[in-house]
Amino acid sequence: MGEILVGTCGYSYEDWRETLYPPELPKSGFLHYYSLFFPFVELDFTYYAMPTPRSMAAMAARTPSPFSFAVKTHRTLTHEIGPGWKDDAAAFARALEPLARDGRLACVLVQLPFSFRHEKANRLHLSSLCDALGALPLAVEFRNADWYTERVFDELERRKLALALVDRPELDGLPPEAERVTADFSYLRFHGRNADAWWKGDATSRYDWLYSEEELQGAAARLGRLAQKAQVVYAAFNNHARGRAVVNARRLDEILGPRREAARRQE
């Protein structure tokens, strides 16, 4: 059975004070403090600002090994694609070299927007992007259900790219719930199930959801099945508003405890 690691999408939220961070803790200490409780974090700021080797190395230096980072691709590679995207891809890959070299890179998250439909031009771009970042472990998240076909899954498997799975509201057009493993690791993002705010909300309200005990029990079972197929399964909570990601991630980790112990006894 593979290892299941539970973390969150982002860490530098002021409204996580009291829930995770002490009130007096300076924000510069957030990452180190976070790393004392979770084994990895998904970096989302890299979508907005191109990372540099220096910034990535500095973040790694503030955390203990083997704490790792899942890094979201810059928006010019997925959402605002321009003629210079290949140069941006090269800069992005160079920035991650310190993490990859030291074994601190969990994966690169290639998150594609809902508007990125399963069309020839988009297929060609995605293929070229995966080639450009091919030296890195990639997890591809499709937001549009058009991509959920056996042909796409087979291509991901051929390239050893992970299909980034999602927990999301039941809405037309969004990818269905799946447990397909196409690489030696799997990545599951918990976006919450706030159907009312999904299309009209912002980056905070869209993911404003507190998973119930029943939903977390179901998530644990799903992760357990994924861990039967993958060496490592990353579970990242994106419901960051009001510290809910922290609450849910901690509880899920508690639920997984007995499952991990049972798996160790069987080894």
pLDDT tens figures, 201-224 = 898 899 999 999 999 999 999 999
Q: Give pLDDT, residue 267.
A: 63
Question: To the nearest whole number, what is the mean pLDDT of the chain?
Answer: 96
Residue 103 pLDDT greater than 90, yes or no:
yes
Q: Could you tell me the sign of the dihedral formed by the alpha carbons of 132, 135, 141, 146, in that order?
A: positive
Distance of alpha carbon 79 from alpha carbon 14, whole angstroms: 27
Q: Give pLDDT, residue 68.
A: 98
Q: Which of 4, 22, 9, 1 is nearest to 254 (CA)?
A: 4
In the chain, what are the domain boundaries? 3-266
> What is the helix (H) or strand (E) element at residue 216, kind and residue range?
helix 213-227
Distance of alpha carbon 212 from alpha carbon 231, whole angstroms: 28
Distance of alpha carbon 71 from alpha carbon 105, whole angstroms: 8
Q: Report pTM.
A: 0.96
Where does the pLDDT of residue 264 fall: very low under 50, low under 70, confident under 90, or very high at 90 and above?
low
Q: Could you tell me the sign of the dihedral formed by the alpha carbons of 161, 167, 168, 172, in that order?
A: positive
pLDDT in tens, 12-50: 999 999 999 999 999 999 999 999 999 999 999 999 999
Residue 247 pLDDT greater than 90, yes or no:
yes
Contact yes or no for 72/44 (Cβ under 8 A): yes
Q: What is the DSSP string of 231-243?
A: SEEEEEE---GGG
Where does the pLDDT of residue 132 fall: very low under 50, low under 70, confident under 90, or very high at 90 and above?
very high
pLDDT in tens, 143-202: 999 999 999 999 999 999 999 999 999 999 999 999 999 999 999 999 999 999 999 989
Strands 232-237 and 185-190, by their bridges, are parallel
Dihedral class, residue 242 (left if φ above 0, else alpha if ψ from -120 to 50, else beta): left
Q: Which of 251, 256, 226, 255 is nearest to 237 (CA)?
A: 251
The CATH label, of 3.20.20.410, 3.30.2130.10, 1.10.3720.10, 1.10.10.10, for the domain at 3-266 is 3.20.20.410
Distance of alpha carbon 237 from alpha carbon 202, whole angstroms: 17
Q: Which of 38, 22, 1 is nearest to 250 (CA)?
A: 38
